[in-house]
Amino acid sequence: SRLVARLAAAAAVALPAPSSRARASWCASLVSSARNRHGAARRAPAGHAPQSRPRAPFSPPSFSAAAMASPGAGGGVPGVPVPAGDATTTLLVITSPEHRDGAQLRRLADTASLAAWAGGRRVDVHVGCSVDDFDASILNDAESSDPVALLWWFGDAKAMGDVLRKPVRSRVAWMHSGSAGVEHLLRETAIKESHAVPLTNARGAFSASLGEWALFSFLWFNKNVQRMRAAQEKGEWMRAPVGMLSGKSVAIVGYGDIGRAVATRSKSMGMRVVGLRRDPSKSEADVESKVVDAVFGLTKDELRRVVKEADFVVLALPHTPETEGLFSRDVIHDAMKPSAVLVNLGRGAVVDEEALIEALRDGKIAGAALDVTRTEPLPEGHPLYAMKNVLLSFHTADLTDDYFDLTLQVFAQHLRAYAGEPVADPLQSGLDALHAPAWNLVDKEKGY
């Protein structure tokens, strides 16, 4: 996951500030509500559960892990648990002390913003860092017909699991992760086993930045930037040939949103791009439109075959039991070309790091650009720090100055879909900076 400690420094990234109000400085419950578009906005007192009318008990519907289609104009997103028109959704936000007073959560608590995002539907927002920060009348209410939604906003995953261990779990209709990675949440049994409740995430919010970083790493190695910097520091004039990206080949292992962002930028430089993913049929449109030259199934044999032909190998895989150590010693030492560069934008655990270090030392591959490593932060004295053919970015390739703004936009987009409102299809809108699906359903068994 994108660690809370790593992100805390960006928590103050400003969004337009909501109207001034008294706010608690600690993780006490904060409540905001937006009425329907024809009614007056209201804010319930902090710590109080929303009032609900007596109706039949709410029962979350069953959901499959099938990808949700983007809506057409004027329609909602298929498969979304849209609440009844007169229902009030209680949104419990699980965050951390660092983020509790951030600009983004202040905006989320603003009635005007919330009303716009929720299509005028009533939403009561309660913010807390632990289960104890939420009012007991909410947590122990299993009878109300009004639904509950959970938003993980860079807090303690256990706190979200603790909420699901309360009677209110029977009313939870939707869960959302502020990060794209969800392995930290799925380690909580209560979250992973909540089969009937859809979990969505921020996939797509950060793909543009990651795509840019991949291209930057290609140029770093291809243009001999490290040698140039070393010569400059020594005060020496250096002339040496530099490479061209045009005509080079890229293999993207894990062709999803991040892979697509890498592909579009690589193609613009005249590179040949081949992708690998579990279900290549999901990328048929990209192949037809020449975003990528070909996409194959992600098998061990195909991985070795595709990697053998690649000048740059980009890993954009999540960490799951199936991907653990997938980029193994035999792939690194035997399949990659000596002139090839490995670029890892996904998860460090996907790579056999010991084998990678050996390959870099022995010249079996030309270099590695690593945004992620198996252990983060790397301990002092780790060999990767001293390797001149390694570019480290310390898990910051997606840590843009508007990181939290982007993930809040994705949540707002999902909230709009939850409210039954039409959401623009990012594939058609051309908004590459926010390339998030209208309803990005996580497969809890697969882990992404």
Residues annotated as catalytic are 347, 376, 395
Which residues on adjacent β-strands are paired with residue 150? Answer: 92, 175
Angle at CA of residue 401, ends 396 and 404, nearest 5° = 90
Distance CA 388, CA 218 (A): 15
Sequence-distant (6+) residues with CB within 8 A of 72 are 422
Name the token pair of 26.
Answer: 């600690």
Nearest to 388 by CA among 363, 417, 421: 363
Name the token pair of 308.
Answer: 């053998």
Distance CA 347, CA 154 (A): 18
Distance CA 129, CA 148 (A): 17
**Which strands sit side by side in the sheet containing 199-200, from one edge to the other?**
32-33, 122-128, 88-94, 148-152, 172-177, 199-200
Ranges of H-type helices in 8-102: 97-100
Nearest to 252 by CA among 220, 283, 277, 285: 277
8 Å CB contact between 147 and 57 = no
8 Å CB contact between 99 and 105 = yes
Give the 3-state DSSP-derived string for 191-257, with helices as H, strands as E and coil as C.
HHCCCCCCEECCCCCCHHHHHHHHHHHHHHHHCCHHHHHHHHHHCCCCCCCCCCCCCCEEEEECCCH
58, 60, 87, 150, 362 from 55: Cα distances, Å: 8, 15, 10, 22, 70
8 Å CB contact between 417 and 439 = yes
95, 101, 171, 402, 428 from 98: Cα distances, Å: 8, 7, 29, 16, 36
Name the token pair of 131.
Answer: 């289960």
Nearest to 420 by CA among 50, 13, 70, 75: 75
